[in-house]
Structure 1
Amino acid sequence: MSVDPLAEIVTLLQPSASYSKLVEYGGRWRIRRDIEGKPVFFAVLEGECRVVSSGRPPIIVRQGDFVLSPSTSDHIVESIEAPPHGIAMMPVDIGEGRFRVGPPAEPVNLRMQVGLCSFSSPDAALLVSLLPAMIVARGAPRLALLLQLVGDETRHTRPGRELVLERLLEVLLIEALRFGADIMSVPSVARGLSDDRLVSALRAMHGWPARGWTVADLAAEAAMSRSAFCARFHRVVGLPPMEYLLAWRMALAKRLLRTRELAIEHVAAQVGYGSASTFSTAFARHVGMPPMRYVRTMRAV
């Protein structure tokens, strides 16, 4: 079975667009991005600016660059010559889907298409943890085209609008993860899929989640010793292999339970458990409630 783990994760996230707008910047400015804890993305159409995030060095992004922050950690976007620390500004609506940041008398020196999206999946926090905290893609014209399509859809009410936006954002996320210039610098599943050894193990876990995988089995898929495989997987993906497998199985189990079409024992079998009781114990330990209570909770939503 040919399975694309990255596509599976992005599809399970169920992305939707809140808005996409054109923002013009002038003079010296600073904006703190932590809007409702939602993922943010932007494309630099003209000019340059600095992005400052906790836990990583500041980066300069320029015309043609695309930045995506799928996690909800806040970050600061500021002009190269930023104002004194502590001054924050908000975009001002200037009409026709355009916003302005910075002193109004200053000439425009930066234009960006900025978007805010959300992930509808109840497992969003788990799934996002498998992705890089921030992705910077440079020189990827396909991303600019996708952003134009997203912006056009958000500004009009057409039949099938939500479905089109969901699919566009899925492609946008995958493209950003494909071309991210710095995804190799932080542990994530995207980095694991670019590792010529680990990719086989990741595809095996996603392709056959019902199989009773052991560390030895997965190490064999990667053609590595168990100790070398575990160390490399943890370093590159960010989780030990069996912990990653458990997280993925639980995400799949939640999706199956939400469909309300399968009995608990059938869900258990599809995600690698030999009995409903062992599955229920693992599920309750991981999720914080037994499977049936989870189903009832989802019905009430």
Structure 2
Amino acid sequence: MSDPLTEVVGLLKPSAALSKQVVAAGAWRVRRTEVGQPFYCVVLDGSALLEAQDQPPLLLERGDFVLLPAAQQFTMSSVSPEPLEDSDPAHFVLRDGLLHVGDPQATPNAQTLLGYCAFGSPDARLLVSLLPQQVHVRDQPRLATLVALVRDESRAQRPAREVILARLLEVLLIEALRASADTGASPGLLRGLADPRLAQALRGLHAAPGHPWSVTELARTAALSRSAFFERFQRAVGVAPMEYLLSWRMALARDLLRHQGLGVAEVAQRVGYSSASTFTVAFTRHVGQPPARYARDTAHAA
């Protein structure tokens, strides 16, 4: 059976963008307003409070890992003493290769490794929508080991550094996502995979995206009635089964058109359309331009 999570992360094409180690002391608060960048943080020592947009405040403690697949606005602050107003990044001090924030005379109350990934796929927004808005993992030594490797590689200037970082971040992302699959994640692919019945249907769908799936057949795969499956899938994944299938087929089609050099008819067949014309109509409605033009434009952009 296919592994949906690995396929989604593989199409996202994560790469290294920024990684830094921050030491905070006293009362402090840092606010960031981003443009959909995937942000991650691991607490190496102490504790901090994370407040992400549309999410309840989250207390981060030593060993915790948090991922915001599409960070928009968030703050990190001291837990105690009461945080001050937002700190000006210009007041950060670089010392011993670390960024320092807060009271330079106070004992540090948090040490974190944080950074941003970049998703290379033009479908990143679509694919990220399948993931939870916030991933929080606690007490996972494997993640700590991976983060240590990322930190070491990001500081070194070894040959093939960017390639190694990209691979490490991809593994880190998959490890964080699968470690949180059985938690109370927000609706998305992870919650679907955490449900054994829905996981069967999702794996079947990803293993054979070109198969003429129906809700009835997917329900049978999940050993549920049609109505129970539909309601359970929409509640867990956040979209209806056929909407999820359409989104996944279009993501695959765009990837095939960009990288495989296949004709429209062959791509249509691979993603489950009986004719090139039917596929062209669906693709144009979903993407905003016909597949042949999309293939030409992306080839020129490359």
Where on the TM-score scale, by shorter chain, does this alignment land: which range?
over 0.9
Q: How does 1:62-211 map to 2 (within 5 A)?
A: 62-80=61-79, 81-84=81-84, 86-90=85-89, 92-180=92-180, 183-211=183-211
For residues 49-76 of structure 1, the C-alpha deviation after alignment (integer angstroms, 9 at most, x for no partner) is 1111232221111011111111132211
Q: Secondary structure at the match of 1:289?
A: coil
Moved more, 37-46 or 203-212: 37-46
State the distance in 2 between where 1:147 and 1:289 align.
40
The DSSP-based 3-state class of the residue aligned with 1:173 is helix
**Hey, what's the Cα distance between the residues in 2 that align with 1:294 and 1:217?**
32
Cα deviations across residues 214-269 of structure 1 (Å, max 9, x unaligned)? 11111111111111111100100111100000000000001000015211000000
C-alpha distance in 2 between matches for 1:36 and 1:241 = 29
The 3-state SS of whatever aligns with 1:190 is helix
Q: Compare 153-162 and 16-25 and name the one that shifted more.
A: 153-162
1:214 paired residue number: 214
- How far residue 87 of structure 1 moved from its aligned partner, in angstroms, is 2.7
The DSSP-based 3-state class of the residue aligned with 2:49 is: strand
SS at match of 1:47: strand
Deviation at 1:179, TM superposition (A): 1.8
Structure 1 alignment gaps of length 5 or more: none
Matched AA of 1:27: G
The structural deviation recorded for 1:37 is: 3.5
Contact 1:40–1:114 (CA under 8 A) maintained in structure 2 = yes
Q: Is the 8 A contact 2:273 2:279 kept in 1?
A: yes
- The question of whether the paired residues in 1 share the 8 Å contact of 2:181 and 2:190 is answered with no
What is the RMSD of the two structures over their aligned residues, measured on CA atoms? Answer: 1.6
Kindly indicate whether the alpha-carbon contact (under 8 Å) linking 1:137 and 1:181 is maintained by their aligned counterparts in 2.
no
Shift of 1:38: 1.6
> Could you tell me which residue of structure 1 aligns to residue 59 of structure 2?
60
Q: TM-score, normalised by structure 1?
A: 0.95
Counterparts of 1:60 and 1:105, CA distance in 2:
24
Does the C-alpha gap of structure 1 residues 183 and 278 become closer, same or farther in structure 2, counting only changes over 3 Å? farther
* Partners of 1:132 and 1:183 within 8 A in 2: no
**Distance in 1 of aligned mates of 2:39 and 2:55:** 17
Of 276-285 and 71-80, the range deviating more from structure 2: 71-80
2-structure distance, mates of 1:285, 1:183:
36
Distance 1:17-1:82 versus aligned 2 partners, 3 A rule: farther
Question: Comparing 95-104 with 58-67, which one deviates more in the overlay?
Answer: 95-104
Tell me which residue corresponds to 2:2: 3
Inter-partner Cα distance in structure 2 for 1:262 and 1:11: 20
1:47 corresponding residue in structure 2: 46
Give the C-alpha shift of residue 154 in structure 1.
Answer: 1.5
1:78 shift after superposition = 1.1
* 3-state secondary structure, aligned to 2:37: coil
TM-aligned CA distance change 1:82 to 1:281, over 3 Å: farther
1:25 aligns with 2:56: no
